Amino acid sequence: MSEAKTCEFKAEVRKVLRILTNSLYTNKEIFLRELVSNASDALDKVRFRQMKGETPASPDLPLEIRIKLDKDKKVLTIADTGLGMNAQELADNLGIIARSGSEEFLSQLAEESKGSTEEGEAKAADASQIIGRFGVGFYSVFMVAEKVEVISRPAFGGDGTAAKWESDGLGSYTVSPCADAEPVRGTKIVVYLKDDASEYAEKYRVDSVIKKHSAYVPFPIFVDDERVNTQPALWREPKSQVTEEQYNEFYKSFTYDSKEPQDHLHINVDMPVQFNALLYIPDSKQDVFVADREAWGLDLYSRRVLIQHENRDLMPNYLAFLKGVVDTEDLPLNISRETLQENRVLMKINQTIVKQVLGHLEKMAKDDPEKYKKFWNMHGSIFKFGYQDFPNRERIAALMRFNTSALENADDLASFDEYIARGLKDQKTVWYVSAPNREAARLNPHIDRFLRKGIEVFYLYEAVDEFVMSGIGKYKEWDFKSVETATDKDLEAFADKEGAEEKKAAPLSEEETRTFDDLLKKMKDILGAKVKDVVVSTRLSGTAACLANEEGVTSAMDKFMRVMTKDDTVPVKTLEVNKDHPLVRSLLRIFKADAGDKTLEAMVQSLFDEAQLMDGYMKDPQEVAARSAKLLEQAAAWYAEVRKI
């Protein structure tokens, strides 16, 4: 080309350029990611052809990207020593924007911009979600530029001359010969910044954008002669060449966590999908699902360039405690969030990550139980949600840990396999009870007969635990049941363990039995609508009374369902009483002497209060406290009288 040639953009292209030139986009910094990515691609092509034995122009030039900033003139210049272009290639590659996707781009833009802000203003589209998907990646520069010059010199072929492409983004472009000495090889882009984009002539701003989006580009990036991307992409390195110190340092720089990670997992996969990943298990509890339900996920890269921060499609929510990156060459650099969610590549990566992580945890649990115990205490509350992963439910169940009645203290943990190994002969049920802590679980009246028979019971301390148990349902042919739903038939095959028999009260005579039946009716009359019925319990031994639900719903599950439906009423249950308990026998004596005794009524009410409190409810604490104080006053007076003090 011997002279300058000016060309008009097509009509639909001008529409796109007009939108970009007068952009209201958020996240305008994305333009720099696009320019760096283009430069990196150009350098990759030179390196590839060199590996094939071809020799580029100026072969001693290093493969690198250099950015120069002129704050006073508001100019940003980015240059690479890559493939470069001749005049015709400049016209072909930069002159026909979005040759197959301009209309689709405009349609997508309209969709992204629907709605308004809280202040009623038109909603600004996020440039990172639409730029580049339709061939407009380079043209994102017009979000911040009032004029752009592209000077390029081919690395291979041609006569060694340079050509210039320039445009103000308003509808036309010019391609002309260029006598500039720079670039010696590759492409130089000169961006004349708009007044409202002058921040991109500031070094700190450009540094931050590169570190955010392009920190792991495989070629050196210099900003005003200072290298910015000094951290290598460890996930792309062979595992044998990465030290433990490098893994830990990368984690700290990536997460800003001052502590070293508990563990890491370096994954390199070629089939069924190609990707590299570096995953970390933090050494501190994560607040996902609590403080910020959206703040989890893995950073997704394509060829070392960040596509999306905290992508939640790369792993299921029960692995949300993981931190790390996934890098694949099977995705385009620019892909919409909506397309990502439906992308088969991500689905396959997700499945592979799950398989790899579960295998890693299984090995940890087998080889280093103490290390796994630490992991469970840190992240078990999140990992438990894996009960919803049906295809992997058996493997996930095997990795779960809970405290049990057979262990010495609340810090000890047991697996389902360990529970099954300790099970009684002919036992085929995993029993559990929900409680806020170990002491509360031990004192739960429903657990009395299990302890008496030597049947181990899992203690569940977290709200999600009952959902876990009911969700798993069965493990290795063992059913999961709550002690609250146990029937006499469930336990009839198991005798009391030796030495567990307690001294029982003398059997009731026929007359006392009839009187006791009348006492039960009296108790029902006293409690009224507070209970469905009052019956003799077959489950209690060391407790005077308890509340039971014949519908098979546990107390913990019932409370959760009531919270979900905003129902603050107290459930009405059946009061079961232990006819051999000393307190109940004393009530029988009082009733036999005087069925209308006011103290009897107060004691029955107090007995119900105790049972309701053990069930986790306290509707009227003031009334309960007043009743308890009155009984204490009477008891103290009787005691003083008996002791003659």
3-class SS string, 456-494: CEEEECCCCHHHHHHHHCEECCEEEEEHHHCCHHHHCCC
Q: Are 275 and 349 in contact (CB under 8 A)?
A: yes
Three-state DSSP class for residue 283: coil
Q: Does CATH place domain 402-491 in 3.40.50.11260?
A: yes
Q: Are 373 and 401 in contact (CB under 8 A)?
A: yes
Say how many C-beta atoms besides its own lie within 10 A of residue 239's C-beta.
12
- The type of residue at 18 is R
The per-residue pLDDT for 144 is: 93
- Which residues lie closer than 8 Å to 490 by C-beta, 6 or more apart? 429, 481
Which of these CATH numbers, 3.20.20.210, 3.30.230.80, 1.10.3720.10, 3.40.50.620, describes 234-368?
3.30.230.80
The per-residue pLDDT for 569 is: 84
Closest of 428, 350, 366, 421 to residue 399, by C-alpha: 366
Q: How many residues does the chain have?
A: 645
Residue 362, token pair as written in the block: 């299984």
Strand-pair partners of 267: 277
Residue 610, token pair as written in the block: 């105790």
Burial 103-119, CB ≥16 within 10 A → b, else e? eebbebbeebbeeeeee
- Which residues lie closer than 8 Å to 595 by C-beta, 6 or more apart? 518, 522
Q: Are 151 and 28 in contact (CB under 8 A)?
A: no
Q: Are 183 and 152 in contact (CB under 8 A)?
A: yes
Q: Which residues of the chain have pLDDT under 70?
A: 1-2, 12-13, 20-26, 95-136, 288-293, 332-342, 499-503
The per-residue pLDDT for 506 is: 83
> What are the Cα distances from residue 53, in Å, to 48, 317, 620?
9, 48, 87
Q: Are 427 and 494 in contact (CB under 8 A)?
A: yes
**The model's pTM:** 0.77
**What span, in angstroms and rounded, lies between the C-alpha atoms of 42 and 79?**
11
Q: Are 182 and 188 in contact (CB under 8 A)?
A: yes
The per-residue pLDDT for 418 is: 97
CATH number of this structure's domain 510-643: 1.20.120.790
**What span, in angstroms and rounded, lies between the C-alpha atoms of 140 and 509?**
94
**What span, in angstroms and rounded, lies between the C-alpha atoms of 352 and 331?**
16
Helix H segments across 186-260? 203-213, 244-255
Strand-pair partners of 263: 281
**What span, in angstroms and rounded, lies between the C-alpha atoms of 110 and 130?**
11
Annotated domain spans of the chain: 5-227, 234-368, 402-491, 510-643
Can you say whether residue 42 is alpha, beta or left, with left for phi > 0 and alpha for psi between -120 and 50 degrees? alpha
Residue 500, token pair as written in the block: 């567990």
163 phi and psi angles, rounded to 5 deg = -130, 155
Closest of 502, 503, 505, 491 to residue 538, by C-alpha: 491
The per-residue pLDDT for 341 is: 55
Residue 68, token pair as written in the block: 């120069």
**Strand 75-80 to strand 403-404: parallel, antiparallel, or no bridges (unpaired)?**
unpaired
Residue 190, token pair as written in the block: 């000169």
Closest of 303, 86, 76 to residue 176, by C-alpha: 86
Residue 587, token pair as written in the block: 């009530």
Q: Are 67 and 222 in contact (CB under 8 A)?
A: yes
**What span, in angstroms and rounded, lies between the C-alpha atoms of 87 and 72?**
31
Segment holding 361, helix H or strand E = helix 344-367
Listing from the earlier edge strand, what are the strands of the sheet with 531-536? Answer: 531-536, 573-577, 545-548
* Domain range 5-227, CATH class: alpha beta
Over its C-alpha atoms, the chain yields an Rg (Å, rounded) of 37
Say how many C-beta atoms besides its own lie within 10 A of residue 256's C-beta.
7
